């Protein structure tokens, strides 16, 4: 999701060195291969080849499944075409670290001959392939990786995002809590890796800017913490009126369950970034999640025509409700379809220019959004876990309005 704690630049350079036996990526995108029959002007024709790089193994495999489903659903509903282009998808396993993700991207570019890369959960991978994409002049549409640098300090014209930034989601909650009577004290807790640091930093900045005070914070060892009791004791003794956290996957399940078992839920309400209760973790958290409030740019409970149609189609096809991961990749297909209607070619420069002109995306399940600095400016929703007809859902409490990526 964000930069993996084991990633470092020397290992990445070594990884690229080990891959040097593969054909060298030249500065011109067409030298890699790519589609044939593409016209010199916009409007379509021929085939566009897309490399869908998502986790198919490892801790983020469930996210990868949702992402692939969102992509395939859009194509199925649109005749496997972007306008007059036939879409050919080459799928590669990102795995869970840049040590697997970077070679996966390199493989679809060099061996798969793709025109566009879509996907990526891990931000270290997104940042790690920046130079590769720039040199090959190929477009990457990130459909999850939330690190701020991807579309700020390390921004390149060849990387766009249809998902979120870690700070965007967390800052919305910080502002909300500061305005909601909790300014006397909130405790912040997250795993000790890059995403956790970004989230706590953005939340704290927004909360304190609104007049709030963070009375304590903690970072739990990432991927190895199973017993949160020592940290829960710290929250209990801090005098906090509320707790804010960032966890996802198995850590989200354990933290929410133990928070309720420890007796904190009734005295110190729990808030978080929406990944805390998103997707398949929610049914596993069970009633322990009831009442937990989070911020995110999507919930399957949104009451708009596009989302109702999307949820109905997705549920009918896959037998379960969609997640934000599904929507983010569905939207990647949606904006590429729009871009290819006016793009003068399939190279990264042409596609990036076209993406910059797509304007408001008014038919997204998440609600209308626009690109701003190559990442979504989008509405963030305050959500609360409720029981609706025997099923746990992230019900919409409030639309917090459009939010940008926080300034660096």
pLDDT tens for each residue of 292-304: 999 999 999 999 9
pLDDT at 27: 27
Q: Give CA separation, 90 vs 115, 124, 155, 280, 338, in Å.
A: 11, 22, 25, 26, 21
Is residue 18 scored above 90 in pLDDT? Answer: no
pLDDT at 44: 57
pLDDT at 42: 54
* The total number of residues written for the chain in this structure: 408
* Distance separating alpha carbons of residues 319 and 309, to the nearest angstrom: 15
Residue 48 — very low, low, confident or very high, per pLDDT cuts 50/70/90? Answer: very high
- Residue 17 and residue 24 in contact, taking contact as beta carbons nearer than 8 Å: no
pLDDT at 60: 84
- Residue 77 and residue 70 in contact, taking contact as beta carbons nearer than 8 Å: no
**Bigger pLDDT: 19 or 234?**
234
Angle CA 55–144–320, to nearest 5: 70
* Distance separating alpha carbons of residues 145 and 203, to the nearest angstrom: 18
Residue 32 — very low, low, confident or very high, per pLDDT cuts 50/70/90? Answer: very low
pLDDT at 182: 87
Same fold? 9-164+306-373, 167-296+380-403: yes
pLDDT digits (tens, 9 = 90+) for 84-130: 999 999 999 999 889 999 999 999 999 999 999 999 999 899 999 99
State percent of the chain over pLDDT 90. Answer: 82
Question: Closest Cα partner for 307 from 390, 396, 377?
Answer: 396
Domain boundaries in the chain? 9-164+306-373, 167-296+380-403
Q: Give CA separation, 110 vs 124, 127, 136, 345, 369, in Å.
A: 20, 18, 10, 19, 33
Is residue 285 scored above 60 in pLDDT? Answer: yes
* Distance separating alpha carbons of residues 231 and 243, to the nearest angstrom: 12
Longest dimension (CA), the chain: 67
Residue 384 — very low, low, confident or very high, per pLDDT cuts 50/70/90? Answer: very high
* Distance separating alpha carbons of residues 52 and 388, to the nearest angstrom: 35
For 167-296+380-403, which CATH class?
alpha beta
pTM of the model: 0.88
- H-helix or E-strand containing 307? helix 305-318
**For all residues of the chain together, what is the average pLDDT?**
89
Q: Give CA separation, 24 vs 136, 205, 260, 352, in Å.
A: 10, 44, 54, 23
For 9-164+306-373, which CATH class?
alpha beta
- Cβ of 378: how many Cβ atoms within 10 Å? 26
* 47-54: strand order across its sheet: 81-82, 85-93, 47-54, 116-119, 139-142, 159-161
């Amino acid at each position: 999701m964000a930069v993996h704690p084991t990633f470092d630049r020397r290992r990445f350079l070594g990884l690229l060195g080990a891959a040097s036996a593969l054909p060298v990526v030249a500065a011109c995108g067409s030298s890699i291969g790519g589609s044939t029959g593409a016209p010199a002007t916009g409007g379509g024709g021929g085939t566009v080849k897309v490399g869908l790089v998502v986790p198919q193994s490892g801790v983020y495999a469930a996210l990868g499944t949702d992402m692939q489903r969102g992509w395939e659903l859009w194509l199925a509903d649109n005749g496997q075409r972007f306008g007059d282009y036939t879409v050919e998808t080459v799928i590669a396993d990102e795995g869970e670290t840049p040590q697997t993700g970077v070679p996966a991207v390199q493989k679809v570019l060099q061996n798969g001959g793709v025109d566009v890369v879509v996907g990526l959960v891990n931000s270290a991978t997104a940042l790690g392939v920046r130079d590769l994409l720039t040199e090959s002049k190929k477009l990457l549409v990130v459909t999850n990786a939330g690190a701020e640098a991807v579309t700020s300090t390390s921004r390149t014209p060849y990387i766009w995002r249809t998902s979120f930034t870690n700070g965007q989601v967390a800052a919305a909650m910080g502002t909300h809590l500061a305005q909601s009577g909790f300014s006397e004290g909130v405790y912040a807790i997250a795993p000790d890796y890059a995403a956790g640091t970004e989230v706590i930093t953005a939340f704290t900045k927004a909360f304190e800017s609104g007049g709030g005070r963070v009375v304590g914070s903690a970072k739990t060892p990432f991927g190895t913490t199973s017993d949160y009791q020592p940290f829960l004791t710290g929250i209990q003794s801090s005098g906090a009126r509320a707790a804010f956290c960032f966890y996802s996957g198995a850590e989200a399940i354990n933290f929410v369950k133990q928070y309720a078992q420890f007796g904190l839920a009734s005295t110190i309400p729990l808030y978080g970034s929406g990944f805390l209760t998103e997707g398949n973790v929610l049914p596993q958290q069970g009633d322990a999640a009831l009442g937990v409030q989070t911020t995110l740019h999507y919930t399957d409970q949104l009451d708009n025509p596009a989302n109702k149609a999307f949820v109905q189609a997705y549920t009918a096809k896959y037998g379960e409700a969609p997640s934000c991961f599904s929507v983010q990749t569905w939207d990647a297909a949606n904006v590429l379809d729009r871009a290819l209607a006016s793009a003068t070619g399939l190279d990264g420069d042409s596609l990036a220019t076209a993406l910059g002109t797509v304007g408001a995306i008014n038919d997204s399940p998440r609600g209308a959004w626009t690109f701003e600095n190559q990442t979504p400016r989008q509405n963030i929703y305050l959500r609360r876990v409720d029981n609706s007809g025997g099923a746990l859902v992230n019900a919409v409490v409030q639309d917090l309005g459009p939010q940008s990526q926080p300034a660096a």
